[in-house]
Structure 1
Amino acid sequence: MLFSLQKQFKRPRGILGWVVGKIMEFDNRRINKWSLQQLPIQQGDHILEVGFGPGYCIDKIVQNDSGTTIDGVDISSTMKEAAHQKNKEAIQKGRVRLFVHDISQFQIDDDPYDHIFSVNNYPLWTDTNRALYHLHQMLKPGGTMVITVQPRGEEEKDSRALLYAEQISNELTNAGFKNIQISYKKIRPALTVCVKGTK
């Protein structure tokens, strides 16, 4: 049962996946709010969220920042359905688009993004270096990249957050990002790290 739940958190599917999505939304609400505060969002910005889950952050951006357009990419079709329900009106108005894909291979013929962010999804990426290089290409010059991670499960310790900070900042630098900033916030159950860079 535990192994099954762990798989669901990586790629939620079906009814159990929908329940897991609700758990993630509740558990991540403070982390999500803090992460969004790191983004210098302005009216008319084009934004990408990697790992949108049940669509909480997308909904908050739509409500708080008129004129923004937001794309989301997630590996779970179950989460796409949940996020679609939460953001149905914005999707109908053309402000939100949702995609199911691995971020390392996600490609869209569109204008570059002003901001790209990801909350508690980076540890699930199959190839973080390739993904970050790919995301760098999808960002406008001067655009902002924000990655937030709170260690969970067996990793649930403050020392792991410090290691994530070092790993993410190094990989962002290698991918071509500049002005790397690392922030920490003590949010139960473990220290949370947010790494920010610009193109």
Structure 2
Amino acid sequence: MNPIELSSQLRKPTGEAGKEIGKALNESNRGLYELAFEMMSLQKDDRVLEIGFGSGMHFPEYFRLQPRLTVTGIDFSKDMCEEAKAHNAELIASNKLSLHCEETSALPFSDNRFDLAVALNVIYFLDPPGVHLKEIHRVLKPGGMLLIGYRPRHTVEHLPFTKQNFILYEPDELKVLLSKNGLEATKEITRSHEKTSVDGVEVTVTDACLLVKKG
């Protein structure tokens, strides 16, 4: 797969190639998810929204941290929605998890609904970002939190597949963007490690998680 095709698949995994990308992302994003789950402070009966959940293999981890949650996922890839539904049939049947195949530019949820929104390796694809961030702000409860996982520009801009479809950010740029949309940074953690990227190259990456609060 050439860099342009890979970039397109990372944005929206589609077809059999997209399913393979989804599997590769489960491994590639493992460190970022581990960091994100460390940062979460989940309370019983919290309502959690995850944006861009991919194949959804990680959903059970939410309930290991806090069994009494309601988790909602939204992803605009039909194929990833189908994969995630197959992987999480039991959670869906028990009404702990619901999955929606929709765009984040017009979230199908009422105002002030969620305690926490989670978006890991998604911020690059929100274009224009303000439209999507305003929607996330709308559905968060007053004082609700958004947890963004991403890789800063300087750590990934050399990778060929980031040249298309990606809007990359440095930490200060991202904080300014979020502040303009009513979301103020409260905590940030970064962690660097060696990994194999989705195109099979050994790289050193920096995982960053930023926790922001609805003002």
Partner of 2:64: 63
Partner of 1:159: none
Partner of 1:168: 174
2-structure distance, mates of 1:133, 1:57: 26
Partner secondary structure for residue 63 of structure 2:
helix
Give the counterpart letter for 2:20 in structure 1.
Answer: V
Partner of 2:207: 192
Residues 1:180 and 2:195 aligned together: no
Contact 1:113–1:138, Cα closer than 8 Å, also in 2: yes
Structure 2 vs 1, CA of residues 104 and 133 (structure 1 numbering), >3 Å: closer, same or farther? same
2-structure distance, mates of 1:168, 1:51: 18
Shift of 1:110: 7.1
Structure 2 vs 1, CA of residues 148 and 58 (structure 1 numbering), >3 Å: closer, same or farther? same
Give the counterpart letter for 2:187 in structure 1.
Answer: Q
2-structure distance, mates of 1:191, 1:25: 17
Taking structure 2 as the reference length, what is the TM-score of the superposition? 0.83
Give the counterpart letter for 1:80 in structure 2.
Answer: C
Shift of 1:179: 4.5
Contact 1:115–1:145, Cα closer than 8 Å, also in 2: yes
Shift of 1:83: 1.0
Structure 2 vs 1, CA of residues 38 and 155 (structure 1 numbering), >3 Å: closer, same or farther? farther
Partner secondary structure for residue 107 of structure 1:
coil
1-structure distance, mates of 2:55, 2:33: 12
Partner secondary structure for residue 56 of structure 1:
coil
Q: Which 5+ residue runs of structure 1 have no aligned equivalent? A: 157-161
Structure 2 vs 1, CA of residues 21 and 179 (structure 1 numbering), >3 Å: closer, same or farther? closer
After TM superposition, the structure 1 = structure 2 runs for residues 74-113 of structure 1, keeping only pairs within 5 Å, are 74-109=75-110, 112-113=113-114
2-structure distance, mates of 1:57, 1:35: 11
Taking structure 1 as the reference length, what is the TM-score of the superposition? 0.89
Shift of 1:192: 1.9
Contact 1:169–1:180, Cα closer than 8 Å, also in 2: no
Shift of 1:182: 2.7
CA offsets, 1:22-43, max 9 Å, x none? 0000111111011122121111
Give the counterpart letter for 2:208 in structure 1.
Answer: V
1-structure distance, mates of 2:17, 2:135: 32
1-structure distance, mates of 2:131, 2:186: 18
Partner of 1:137: 138
1-structure distance, mates of 2:186, 2:132: 17
Partner secondary structure for residue 104 of structure 1:
helix
Percent of aligned pairs with the same amino acid: 25
Larger relative CO (CA 8 A, sep 6+): 1 or 2? Answer: 2
Structure 2 vs 1, CA of residues 198 and 110 (structure 1 numbering), >3 Å: closer, same or farther? closer
Shift of 1:176: 1.1
Between Structure 1 and Structure 2, how many residues are aligned? 194
Post-superposition, which runs of at least 4 consecutive aligned residues in structure 1 deviate over 3 A? 151-156
Give the counterpart letter for 1:77 in structure 2.
Answer: K
2-structure distance, mates of 1:132, 1:78: 24
Q: CA RMSD in A?
A: 2.0
